Structure 1
Amino acid sequence: MSQPPYPPVPPPDPQQPGGFPGQQPPQYGQQPPPPPQYGQQPPQQPPYGQQPPPQPQYGQAPPPPPGGPQYGDAGTYPGAPDPQGAPYDSGKVDVGTAFSWAFGKFKNNVGAMILPGLAVFLLLAVFLALAIFGTALFSSTETTDLGGGYTYETTTLGTGGLILMILLYVLLYIGLIYIQASIISGAVRVANGEPVTAKSFLTPIRFGPVIGTAILVGIIVGVGTALCVIPGIIAMFFLMFAVVATIDKGLSPVDAMKASFELTKSKVGDSILTLLVTYAIHLVGALVCYVGLIVAAPVAQLFLVHCWRRLNGAPIAPADPS
């Protein structure tokens, strides 16, 4: 007697809700699975003790394969837009876009962003008052008779006055670094999409490392400037993003200077454009009797942070509606 060409179909199991071994009962509203065709193996039953895979609900997409990215996740494919702002892979500076973004953020948050500029004027006023007081307190004046009714007065600042002036200049330098770090920190918070408050532009991020970075950059640029000026300009160019990197990436002073150097070296044209526009914004503010710096300083730092993020391909908060 010859063997059948196909394996036999098992008879229906009356104890099984689906009618065949290994079949699961249908969910509510779900059509029962069709019985296997002639010669087709019935569905396999999961091993003993293992739960069968859950059935998808009505209108729900099947689960993704293990370890695979889910559809619609940001960054799962090249050029995927970040939900908070610009694409990650831009890498180019658009001066018009960056300035429009910076000025729009300032215009819509002018109350909080002018506070650092007002703090600079207050700091300079205190410094000037203490300098005048120290000069009057620790100086001595000698009068020399030149004959013919002419006299010549010489004012000499004593040791106490010199010490006081050195301390005042150190405090002024630290205060200016504090305000600059506060402005850059505020610009970074704006780029992150955080709400802008008065504290945003008056509280620096990582002020200790920022002081270290600013001192190192100042020493390098100062030594370079003393060597025929050109080396100082070159150093200022390559280290233009050092303080921003210290705040935005949480780097140490040395690592922040390395990050600035590597970025400017790889993006020379865009970095030169960023530096020129940043200083042009400051220059325009300084020409208006320095009062314009109250506006120019935060706008310039917002522009700088926008370009820093763009050149790094990092996300940026969307521009405010005009």
Structure 2
Amino acid sequence: MGFTASNAVTFAWRRFKANPVPWVGVTALFGILLGVITGATGGFDTEADTTGMLSLSAFLTWLLTTLFWNVFTQAGLAEVAGERPNLNRFTTLKNFGPFLIAAVVLGVLGVIAQPLVGAGNLLLSLIGVICAIAALVVAFLLQWTYLFIIDRDMSAPDAMRASVDGIRANIGPMLLLTVTLAAINVLGALLCGLGLLVTIPLAVIASAWAYRTLTGATAK
């Protein structure tokens, strides 16, 4: 198939439909663990003074997301290669050192932006909004970083450069795909969150297919 956002989603749906159990199971586990972290660190207590606990919650959420995204990325690439990843594929970390470094860098602007957006000072709030916009742009350009680290054993800096070069060369199609996948996940979240059990795997597989297709690799 030639690359279009529609073809990416179609491919992802076909692969997911043929192997839904491990994807749904691991995605559900991810959601449950996020809920446990939120509950254990006071995230559901709106009246308590939980500033420190919320910082702990944010850190644990980031770490958990990084761990799961490592195995999600591996499984997405496996689907594109024509494999049917089983639960074992979701329990092994790969190239986690560079992956963790990339996760830290990718999270910096977002971490800076969040407190500034809510600041009472107009100037700080404006800086926060600028940082938030910059974080979105950076996230868009670096969205293939994890894929390059897992697929080609690159270091974090090399993977980031490769992602920027690859996305810039395909900025129009990738922007459309990014918006499409974001909209699909919003719809999944609106279905009491249960739709995310399907839309998150779809987004992972579609992104892996786009990466492989647009960087010249052959998807089965």
TM-score using structure 1 length: 0.57
Which of the numbers 210, 215, 220 marks the counterpart of 1:312? 215
Aligned to 1:252: 155
Deviates more, 1:295-304 or 1:240-249: 240-249
Please give the secondary structure, in 1, of the residue aligned with 2:147. Answer: helix
Number of residues of Structure 1 aligned to a counterpart in Structure 2: 205
One-letter amino acid of the structure 2 residue matched with residue 93 of structure 1: F
Aligned to 2:3: 93
One-letter amino acid of the structure 2 residue matched with residue 171 of structure 1: L
CA distance in 2, matches of 1:106, 1:278: 15
Aligned to 1:238: 141
Q: Normalized per residue, which structure has more helix? A: 2
Aligned to 2:165: 262
CA distance in 1, matches of 2:33, 2:7: 33
Give deviations 1:85-120, integer Å, cap 9, x for gaps: x7xxxxx62223221111111111111111221112
CA distance in 2, matches of 1:272, 1:121: 27
Aligned to 1:106: 16
Which of the numbers 186, 201, 221 marks the counterpart of 2:75? 186
Give deviations 1:152-196, integer Å, cap 9, x for gaps: xxx764xxx765553343222201221122212110111222332
Q: Which runs of 5+ in 1 are unaligned?
A: 1-85, 87-91, 136-154, 318-322
One-letter amino acid of the structure 2 residue matched with residue 292 of structure 1: G
Structure 1 stretches (4+) deviating beyond 4 angstroms?
161-165, 221-225
**Structure 1 residue 264, shift from structure 2 partner:** 1.3
Which of the numbers 128, 131, 149 marks the counterpart of 1:226? 128
**Structure 1 residue 256, shift from structure 2 partner:** 1.1
Aligned to 1:297: 200
CA distance in 2, matches of 1:253, 1:174: 17
CA distance in 2, matches of 1:221, 1:172: 14
**Structure 1 residue 219, shift from structure 2 partner:** 1.2
Q: Which runs of 5+ in 2 are unaligned?
A: 114-126
1:38-53 matches, cutoff 5 A: none
- 1 or 2 for the larger relative contact order (CA 8 Å, sep ≥6)? 2
1:139-288 matches, cutoff 5 A: 157=49, 165-220=54-109, 226=128, 228=130, 229-288=132-191
Q: Normalized per residue, which structure has more strand? A: 1
